[in-house]
Amino acid sequence: MKKTVLFSFLVLITMNLKAQTQQEIDIQNKITKLIAELTIEEKVALCSGRDDWSTMPIERLDIPWIWVSDGPHGLRRAPATNKPGYGDQLPATCFPTASALAATWDVDLVYKVGQTLGDEAQAQGVSVLLGPGVNIKRSVLGGRNFEYFSEDPILSGEMGAAYINGVQSQGVGTSLKHFTANNVETMRMFNNSNVDTRTLHELYLTPFEITVKKAQPWTVMACYNRVQGEYGTQSEFLLTDILKKDWGFKGIVVSDWFAIVDRVAAMKAGMHLEMPKVSPVNNAIAVEAIKNGELDIAVVDALVKEILTVVFKAKSLQKEGVELNVEKDHAFARKVASEAATLLKNENDVLPISKEKYKKVAIIGEFAAAPRYQGNGSSQVKPTKLDSALEIIKNEYGKGIKITYAQGYNLEDDNDTSLISEAKKVASEADVVLVFSGLPLQYESEGIDRTHIHMPPSHNKLIEEISAVQKNTVVVLTNGSAVTMPWLNKVSGVLETWLGGQAGAGGIADVLFGKVNPSGKLAETFPTRLEDTPAFFNFPGEQGDVLYGERIFVGYRYYDGRKIEPLFPFGYGLSYTSFEYSDLKVSSKNTTDKEGLTVSVTIKNTGKVTGKEIVQLYVSDTKSTLQRPEKELKKFVKIELAPGESKEVSFKLDSRDFSYFDAKRNMWIAESGEYVIAAAASSRDIKLSETINLQSTQQVPLMFDEYTFFLEYWNNKQTREILLEYMPNWIRGIVTEGDEAEIREYQGFMVEHPMIKYPYITHGEITHEQVKELVEKCKGLTYTP
Ligand code: BGC
């Protein structure tokens, strides 16, 4: 019986696969026919939007249009495709923003957020949700940091992939943005991200690469800024070489809104869809370029084919009759907010609050009544409902506890401290005080970078003054990115709640009152002061150029290297329980890049309540040819454990996890040598580590040329032989007799020159032709790194 069921199941799956494939084939055939029928003008028109939020239909050929809509932490669907949709957008569930999602470190949860967003998009007829953004938080000042996940490329990429897989599982596409090196808002339409190639690959491409490979977003949104001197919207290197050829991206590239400067260059580079509707001028330029042969029609046909593939796919997956489930989605958003809450300080177990511990709880701060729950700009969602912490705490947790409230500060005026004395009185009469504070909406915005990382003076002063009269002061922070905490030593508790979305208040209350054990950890370093940050001297750039002078040393990579103690390190977060790490095992102490490594570690909940731990795996290369960060996050997992329970978690590391990007050779290289594998509770809390030896099997090009130094030729066995053929006897005598140290000591001057100088040094005994010959003979040689 069982066998029959399994067999029928397999047949069904196969039939379904066949049906899908047939459907895809049918769509492709239809598109081929359409391309033959479309005029040049129509083809070009298809490569730009119809209006703000829809693609271009061609009615005479029954080509439909589809809705696209912001994104990312909820839908911002305008009432009509030709309306901007700021303020008059349709209500939708506002989820916690990306900073908060990343603080959960929970890929399954983020997948479910994606699923829910996909569902809501279906309910509103939206086919492509414009998000998520996986750009790196290079500077704490970045205006859109609340909309991005992390300072770390692996965490950002994994979050992006989970989100996209979730949305797309519902038959709705996504737009992975903003491709790439979009890390500054100042002059965002022109600023050039002047980033070196190695850093570009290791930090600013990797999150996109992970997301594209793991989730195949239907669309990728090209950035406003320039990257290495070329606009992201017209970079063939980024849009075609990297995205399509290297990573196998199958979808289409969409421009950020009004990002295109040169339409023809953009189309040649691989830009499919210019958004939103452009002036007819841009289309006319492209038509003209096709007619005069500057733009090959075959290029345009390929773009149109891929655009139509997405349009028809979207149409075929559109579901009728999907209803927005306001209550269910709101409840889920609350859960997500509670998972994101990150407990930064909890002296003497001031939290959680219970009626056994405290009879009187004072809630202070206007944010408790008028929550800040999302960021400013194109991502602004009109929520279906909005909870306030004051109401939730009173209604759900107020039984048997006296709750008092004071406004504490004035959201209209950052410097107004007149409300503090009343708040102090309320605070002094309570057993514990919760100060809701953080960054008002205008402090963090798309289009504007921050100039400092302080909270409003009135918030800081309020906390100082309250902590002077109340030892049980807990600061509940609401902000999308890092802030300074000058009062940290004076308060007992700090709960970072990010921008928690419309149901954030409930999530916060659940954590404060112990219904949910906090399990968020920082996805970005909190510095003590702005001057300590990696991009301090290079943000937001000058004269249209942003020098990425800190290179690969962004976030914890920088603080580690400079031995700077941050306020709170990357990966940090407390729990109401405790965890013990034991039994770190590696599959082998000696491995190769091909075999990789399996690492396992056991985690035990040693406290009294159920809790979740985020286990982080860092890899360090102890000695390398190029400078490398002290350690880099490669894997992570979040697990739940009951009191006394243990679980073993394991991770598989592959060659890439050991590699750096060699810009000269344009390849990832895993060098032979020792690596430290560390299981950690945060980037500054390494619990266990193992050292392993990796033998590389890679053969990489040697790439010696006329500028390679004599000593390098000498030190390599293969090139030494060739070198000797060209050396005059007197040099040969000197160098063959000594080892490297002696050669350096006695002949340092002679050997520390690039080969191109030898015709001069030897007064012509070695000729220019011979140097060329030598270089030629060494071409094609490889070595094992
Ligand atoms: C933003 C994008 C957004 C688009 C549409 C742009 O200004 O950079 O993130 O999706 O507008 O609103």
Q: Which domain holds residue 20?
A: 1-27
- What number of CA atoms fall less than 13 Å from residue 160's CA on the CB side? 37
Please give the radius of gyration of the chain, using alpha carbons only, rounded to the nearest integer: 29
Reported as a single tens digit per residue, the pLDDT across 151-178 is 999 999 999 999 999 999 999 999 999 9
Q: Which atom of ligand 1 is nearest to the CA of 276?
A: 5
- CATH number of the domain residue 200 falls in: 3.20.20.300
Q: Is residue 257 located within the same domain as residue 137?
A: yes
What are residue 402's DSSP bridge partners? 360
Query: Ligand 1: distance of its center to the CA of 453 in Å?
Result: 24
At residue 745 the predicted structure's pLDDT band, cuts being 50, 70 and 90, is: low
- CATH number of the domain residue 690 falls in: 2.60.40.10
At residue 217 the predicted structure's pLDDT band, cuts being 50, 70 and 90, is: very high
Residue 565 lies in a domain: no
The first and second tokens of residue 369, run together, are 């009544």
Query: Ligand 1: distance of its center to the CA of 378 in Å?
Result: 6
- The residue contributing the CA closest to ligand 1 atom 11 is 257
What are residue 177's DSSP bridge partners? 133
- The residue contributing the CA closest to ligand 1 atom 9 is 378
- What number of CA atoms fall less than 13 Å from residue 446's CA on the CB side? 16
- The residue contributing the CA closest to ligand 1 atom 4 is 257
Q: Is residue 732 located within the same domain as residue 655?
A: no
Residue 671 has pLDDT above 90, yes or no: yes
Q: Is residue 284 located within the same domain as residue 384?
A: no
Q: Is residue 151 located within the same domain as residue 256?
A: yes
Q: Which of 682, 717, 703 lies closest to 569 in space, CA to CA?
A: 682
Three-state SS at 304: helix
The first and second tokens of residue 4, run together, are 């029959």
Query: Ligand 1: distance of its center to the CA of 98 in Å?
Result: 15
Residues 6+ apart with CB under 8 A from 414: 440, 456, 457, 458, 459
Distance CA 633, CA 652 (A): 13
Reported as a single tens digit per residue, the pLDDT across 521-540 is 999 999 999 999 999 999 99
Q: Which of 73, 257, 275 for a ligand 1 pocket mutation test, highest count of atoms within 8 Å of Cβ? A: 257
Residue 483 has pLDDT above 60, yes or no: yes
Q: What is the pLDDT of residue 22?
A: 86
Q: Which of 73, 80, 83 lies closest to 124 in space, CA to CA?
A: 80
Q: Is residue 426 located within the same domain as residue 283?
A: no
Q: Is residue 346 located within the same domain as residue 477?
A: yes
At residue 452 the predicted structure's pLDDT band, cuts being 50, 70 and 90, is: very high
Reported as a single tens digit per residue, the pLDDT across 88-147 is 999 999 999 999 999 999 999 999 999 999 999 999 999 999 999 999 999 999 999 999
Residue 551 has pLDDT above 80, yes or no: yes
Which of 317, 347, 375 is the C-terminal boundary of a domain?
317
Residue 556 lies in a domain: no
Percent of the chain exceeding pLDDT 90 equals: 91
Please tell me if the CB atom of residue 671 comes closer than 6 angstroms to any atom of ligand 1. Answer: no
- The residue contributing the CA closest to ligand 1 atom 7 is 257
DSSP track, 626-693: S---S-EEEEEEEEEE-TT-EEEEEEEE-GGGG-EEETTTTEEE--SEEEEEEEEEETTEEEEEEEEE
Q: Which atom of ligand 1 is nearest to the CA of 188?
A: 8
Distance CA 512, CA 364 (A): 14
Q: Is residue 150 located within the same domain as residue 228?
A: yes
Q: Is residue 181 located within the same domain as residue 208?
A: yes
Please tell me if the CB atom of residue 275 comes closer than 6 angstroms to any atom of ligand 1. Answer: no
Residue 298 lies in a domain: yes
Chain centroid to Cα 21, Å, comes to: 33
- The residue contributing the CA closest to ligand 1 atom 2 is 256
Residue 583 lies in a domain: yes
Query: Ligand 1: distance of its center to the CA of 256 in Å?
Result: 6
Three-state SS at 565: coil
Residues 6+ apart with CB under 8 A from 129: 68, 69, 70, 71, 72, 75, 117, 118, 121, 167, 172, 173, 174, 175
Reported as a single tens digit per residue, the pLDDT across 497-516 is 999 999 999 999 999 999 99
Please tell me if the CB atom of residue 147 comes closer than 6 angstroms to any atom of ligand 1. Answer: no
782-783 vs 700-701, strand pairing mode: antiparallel
What's the whole-model pTM score? 0.95
Please tell me if the CB atom of residue 256 comes closer than 6 angstroms to any atom of ligand 1. Answer: yes
Distance CA 186, CA 208 (A): 23
256 catalytic? Reply is: yes
Q: Which of 54, 225, 378 for a ligand 1 pocket mutation test, highest count of atoms within 8 Å of Cβ? A: 378
Q: Which of 723, 729, 694, 700 lies closest to 710 in space, CA to CA?
A: 723
Task: Give how far Cα 772 sits from Cα of 138, 489, 777, Å.
Answer: 43, 67, 9
Residue 546 lies in a domain: no
Which of 317, 348, 371 is the C-terminal boundary of a domain?
317
Q: Is residue 512 located within the same domain as residue 635?
A: no
Q: Strand 402-406's sheet: what is its strand order?
A: 342-346, 493-496, 473-478, 432-438, 360-364, 402-406
- Mean pLDDT confidence for 261-282: 94
Residue 396 has pLDDT above 80, yes or no: yes
Residue 608 lies in a domain: yes
At residue 413 the predicted structure's pLDDT band, cuts being 50, 70 and 90, is: very high
Distance CA 466, CA 193 (A): 44
Please tell me if the CB atom of residue 746 comes closer than 6 angstroms to any atom of ligand 1. Answer: no
Q: Which of 216, 463, 504 lies closest to 454 in space, CA to CA?
A: 463
Residue 764 has pLDDT above 60, yes or no: yes
Q: Is residue 294 located within the same domain as residue 373?
A: no
At residue 15 the predicted structure's pLDDT band, cuts being 50, 70 and 90, is: very low
Please tell me if the CB atom of residue 378 comes closer than 6 angstroms to any atom of ligand 1. Answer: yes
Please tell me if the CB atom of residue 188 comes closer than 6 angstroms to any atom of ligand 1. Answer: no
Residue 541 lies in a domain: no
Q: What is the pLDDT of residue 480?
A: 97
Q: Is residue 47 located within the same domain as residue 61?
A: yes
Reported as a single tens digit per residue, the pLDDT across 621-648 is 999 999 999 999 999 999 999 999 999 9
Query: Ligand 1: distance of its center to the CA of 257 in Å?
Result: 6
What are residue 651's DSSP bridge partners? 599
Residue 774 lies in a domain: yes
Q: Which of 62, 25, 143 lies closest to 480 in space, CA to CA?
A: 143
Count structural domains, the chain: 5
Longest dimension (CA), the chain: 97
Query: Ligand 1: distance of its center to the CA of 115 in Å?
Result: 22
Q: Which of 253, 243, 251 lies closest to 309 in space, CA to CA?
A: 251
- Mean pLDDT confidence for 201-217: 98
Q: Which of 52, 70, 152, 256 is catalytic?
A: 256
Are 139 and 79 contacting, i.e. CB atoms less than 8 angstroms apart? no
Q: Which atom of ligand 1 is nearest to the CA of 131?
A: 10
Query: Ligand 1: distance of its center to the CA of 544 in Å?
Result: 21
Tell me which residue has tokens 């659940």: 510
Which of 289, 317, 345 is the C-terminal boundary of a domain?
317
Query: Ligand 1: distance of its center to the CA of 622 in Å?
Result: 42
Residue 5 has pLDDT above 60, yes or no: no
Residue 424: how many other CB atoms lie within 10 Å: 20
Q: Which of 616, 597, 617, 621 lies closest to 670 in space, CA to CA?
A: 621
Distance CA 245, CA 260 (A): 22
Q: Calculate the average pLDDT of the chain.
A: 95
Q: Is residue 234 located within the same domain as residue 305?
A: yes
Reported as a single tens digit per residue, the pLDDT across 44-92 is 999 999 999 999 999 999 999 999 999 999 999 999 999 999 999 999 9
Residues 6+ apart with CB under 8 A from 445: 143, 185, 375, 376, 377
Instruction: Tell me the three-class secondary structure of 571-597, residue by residue.
Output: CCCECCCCEEEEEEEECCCEEECCCCE
Are 497 and 479 contacting, i.e. CB atoms less than 8 angstroms apart? no
Percent of the chain exceeding pLDDT 70 equals: 96
- Mean pLDDT confidence for 331-335: 98
- The residue contributing the CA closest to ligand 1 atom 5 is 257
Distance CA 193, CA 744 (A): 40
Query: Ligand 1: distance of its center to the CA of 188 in Å?
Result: 12
Please tell me if the CB atom of residue 70 comes closer than 6 angstroms to any atom of ligand 1. Answer: yes
- CATH number of the domain residue 357 falls in: 3.40.50.1700
At residue 747 the predicted structure's pLDDT band, cuts being 50, 70 and 90, is: low
The first and second tokens of residue 79, run together, are 């009432």
Please tell me if the CB atom of residue 52 comes closer than 6 angstroms to any atom of ligand 1. Answer: no
- What number of CA atoms fall less than 13 Å from residue 423's CA on the CB side? 28
* Residue spans of alpha helices (H) in 256-296: 263-269, 280-291
579-586 vs 590-592, strand pairing mode: unpaired
Residue 7 has pLDDT above 90, yes or no: no
